[in-house]
Chains A and B, each alone.
Chain A
């Protein structure tokens, strides 16, 4: 480490220590406020108003510590249950939500010990460097004041000037130790906070279940809408055309005896119709599961896609072998959607796709050299990607500063399936 780095880190940590002193005092204030609110509950129901307001402050305070802990390399998740839709900002709903959440009581339990640890460590991280500074500046002071009994470090009191001079190196040593130790003190403070401010494994599971039910409902909705669209396309498209085809051929059959020329015309028309029906079916199939994906897997399908993009697109991939079919499909459509966005909105000259797989995670990146400024909130394309990937616990992040470049990064857990030897069905 550069010497400047540890001095900078040390100074920051000392500043953090100083900050922790008023924060510790705030803890004590919050503890009193919360207990008062609790006690006031039976008194005209004042607690129903007070407690939610105090809890907001309490959570702000806990969140501040969580954020500070993250700076010191100790990430702490928020453990709170989501507010029920029926709960207002104050009142019985909010009150019940707060008192039934174990995280509230864990926050409360942390307030006092957290304050003590914060105070002790904060004062320690401030005191050691101050003592060092005192040592460095003591000698001139002593000479200037000239009287009284002074001492420093191991020498107490000073009797000669040379003894006084020794306070300088000692002071420098204390200052250095203080700066070096301060980041560790911050870290211990954060580790202590984590004991009570992090979600319990129970709370974590609860949050996970809530997320899963949400994403499952979302996926089921999307699938139902998709099936409905396919049904409508088949009904209005291929099915209707096949009916018309049957009628035309039947008519030709009737006519072939006495008007062969008309029959021939009808048959040509029927052939034309069958071709159109096939084109429609092909588009539909491509939207459900692109044949090239079934034939070549993700790698081949994305290469085939890149070859037909209007935007020149390069593909860099080490995804060999076949992924599970649903994952493959989600990944393919996500890449296709991102590329379509790049083509339509970015004004780019080139785009790239990179696909890498390691440790059971598939990492997809789609980038372009366009003007950036893509907004995930606008349009349905990016939301669609998030939903597709969400069904597999995948994530999407978008980086698109004004002026570009735009980079869409998608990650989803995956396993390679063994090469397929049989499949239940297939069409030539």
Chain B
């Protein structure tokens, strides 16, 4: 699997490269600044890119902007965005194109290697992975998707974190069948048209972020 890495800190860039190569990813390019990122993404069209939000020269959000621009040019180009902090606002922008293949995680998550590699693979497969911190920040608000039951909101939160039906079932101590029933209820209540299941999951998460 081909990977492009964008990270300005040499230590972290090398660490990420080493980590991904240890799990049989092939790092085809590493970038350490904003302007070089978009061409690298478009030239290599990697199976997945791991991108830092804040990059030189302005140290603002050029990694995020490049990721959004690349996905506009190549819809669904899988990109996992990493940052020292997470903002629901950024999550919403990343999901705005309603295509899957997006991840948004705190850099801390890299230290749980197995889970991090799992997230990279899910994004590469077109899944959506939101950091639990994003989900937690949203859950703190008392602005619920009123139509959903408490259980359904819980399931939606797990979905936003990128978990599969089986993983959600295991975490909530229910059967997989119950989970898929909840998910179908969520889709119906949010008025998401029947379509490819992955896409509907993204739309549901987006509804969650916009709530």
Q: Which residues of A contact B (CB under 8 A)?
A: 271, 274-275, 278-279, 282, 285-286, 291-292, 294-296, 300, 303-304, 307-310, 312, 420-423, 425-428
Given that A275-B111, A294-B59, A310-B140 are contacting pairs, would A428 and B7 also be in contact in the complex, using a CB cutoff of 8 Å?
yes
* Extra contacts besides A275-B108, A285-B85, A428-B9 (10): CB < 8 Å: A278-B108, A294-B59, A294-B60, A300-B89, A308-B137, A421-B57, A423-B59, A427-B59, A428-B52, A428-B107
**Taking each of A292, A420, A421, which has the highest tally of chain B beta carbons within 10 Å of its own beta carbon?**
A292
A-facing mask of B37-70, CB < 8 A → 1, else 0? 0000000000000001111111111000000000
In the A-B complex, the 8 residue pairs with the closest CB atoms? A426-B59, A304-B89, A295-B61, A295-B60, A428-B52, A278-B108, A304-B87, A291-B85
- Select from chain B the residue with minimum beta-carbon distance to A425: B59
User: For the complex, would chain A's binding face be called helix, strand, loop or mixed by DSSP majority?
Assistant: helix
Asked whether A303 lies within 8 Å of B89 as measured between CB atoms, the reply is: yes
Asked whether B9 lies within 8 Å of A308 as measured between CB atoms, the reply is: no
A420-B34 Cα distance, complex, nearest whole Å: 14
Q: B142 within 8 Å of A by Cβ?
A: yes
A422-B57 Cα distance, complex, nearest whole Å: 6
Q: Which B residues lie within 8 Å of A274 (CB)?
A: 108, 111
A278-B60 Cα distance, complex, nearest whole Å: 20
Asked whether A292 lies within 8 Å of B111 as measured between CB atoms, the reply is: no
| Number of B interface residues in the complex (CB < 8 A) | 33
> Which residue of B8, B58, B89, B137 contacts A423 across the interface (Cβ within 8 Å)?
B58
A285-B61 Cα distance, complex, nearest whole Å: 17
Q: Which residues of B contact A (CB under 8 A)?
A: 7-9, 12, 52-61, 83-85, 87-90, 92, 106-108, 111-112, 137-138, 140-143
- Select from chain A the residue with minimum beta-carbon distance to B113: A271
Asked whether B87 lies within 8 Å of A271 as measured between CB atoms, the reply is: no
Asked whether A291 lies within 8 Å of B84 as measured between CB atoms, the reply is: yes
A425-B8 Cα distance, complex, nearest whole Å: 12
- Select from chain B the residue with minimum beta-carbon distance to A290: B85
26 contacts between A and B (CB under 8 A): A271-B112, A274-B108, A274-B111, A275-B111, A278-B106, A278-B107, A291-B83, A296-B60, A296-B61, A300-B89, A304-B87, A304-B88, A304-B90, A307-B89, A308-B88, A310-B142, A310-B143, A420-B60, A421-B57, A422-B58, A425-B59, A426-B56, A427-B9, A427-B59, A428-B9, A428-B52
User: For the complex, would chain B's binding face be called helix, strand, loop or mixed by DSSP majority?
Assistant: loop
Q: Which A residues lie within 8 Å of B140 (CB)?
A: 308, 310
How distant is A28 from chain B, measured CB to nearest CB, in Å?
68
Asked whether B143 lies within 8 Å of A421 as measured between CB atoms, the reply is: no
Q: Which A residues lie within 8 Å of B9 (CB)?
A: 427-428
A275-B137 Cα distance, complex, nearest whole Å: 18
Asked whether A428 lies within 8 Å of B88 as measured between CB atoms, the reply is: no
Given that A309-B141, A310-B140 are contacting pairs, would A292 and B89 also be in contact in the complex, using a CB cutoff of 8 Å?
yes
- Select from chain B the residue with minimum beta-carbon distance to A308: B137
Asked whether B85 lies within 8 Å of A292 as measured between CB atoms, the reply is: yes
- Select from chain A the residue with minimum beta-carbon distance to B54: A428
Asked whether A295 lies within 8 Å of B53 as measured between CB atoms, the reply is: yes
**Taking each of B8, B57, B87, B111, which has the highest tally of chain A beta carbons within 10 Å of its own beta carbon?**
B87
How distant is B85 from chain A, measured CB to nearest CB, in Å?
5
- Select from chain A the residue with minimum beta-carbon distance to B56: A426
Q: Which A residues lie within 8 Å of B53 (CB)?
A: 295, 428
Q: Which A residues lie within 8 Å of B84 (CB)?
A: 282, 285, 291, 427-428
Q: Which B residues lie within 8 Å of A282 (CB)?
A: 84-85
How distant is B64 from chain A, measured CB to nearest CB, in Å?
8
Q: Which A residues lie within 8 Å of B56 (CB)?
A: 426
A291-B106 Cα distance, complex, nearest whole Å: 13
A310-B144 Cα distance, complex, nearest whole Å: 10
How distant is A29 from chain B, measured CB to nearest CB, in Å?
66
Q: Which B residues lie within 8 Å of A286 (CB)?
A: 85
A401-B90 Cα distance, complex, nearest whole Å: 37
Asked whether A307 lies within 8 Å of B108 as measured between CB atoms, the reply is: no
How distant is B115 from chain A, measured CB to nearest CB, in Å?
11
> Which residue of A285, A296, A310, A428 contacts B141 across the interface (Cβ within 8 Å)?
A310
Asked whether B58 lies within 8 Å of A421 as measured between CB atoms, the reply is: yes
A308-B139 Cα distance, complex, nearest whole Å: 9
A122-B144 Cα distance, complex, nearest whole Å: 68
Q: Which A residues lie within 8 Å of B137 (CB)?
A: 308
Q: Which A residues lie within 8 Å of B54 (CB)?
A: 291, 295, 426-428
A295-B52 Cα distance, complex, nearest whole Å: 13
How distant is B119 from chain A, measured CB to nearest CB, in Å?
15
- Select from chain B the residue with minimum beta-carbon distance to A423: B59
A291-B87 Cα distance, complex, nearest whole Å: 10
A421-B57 Cα distance, complex, nearest whole Å: 7
How distant is B143 from chain A, measured CB to nearest CB, in Å?
5
- Select from chain A the residue with minimum beta-carbon distance to B142: A310
How distant is A216 from chain B, measured CB to nearest CB, in Å?
30
How distant is B140 from chain A, measured CB to nearest CB, in Å?
6
- Select from chain A the residue with minimum beta-carbon distance to B85: A291
A271-B108 Cα distance, complex, nearest whole Å: 10
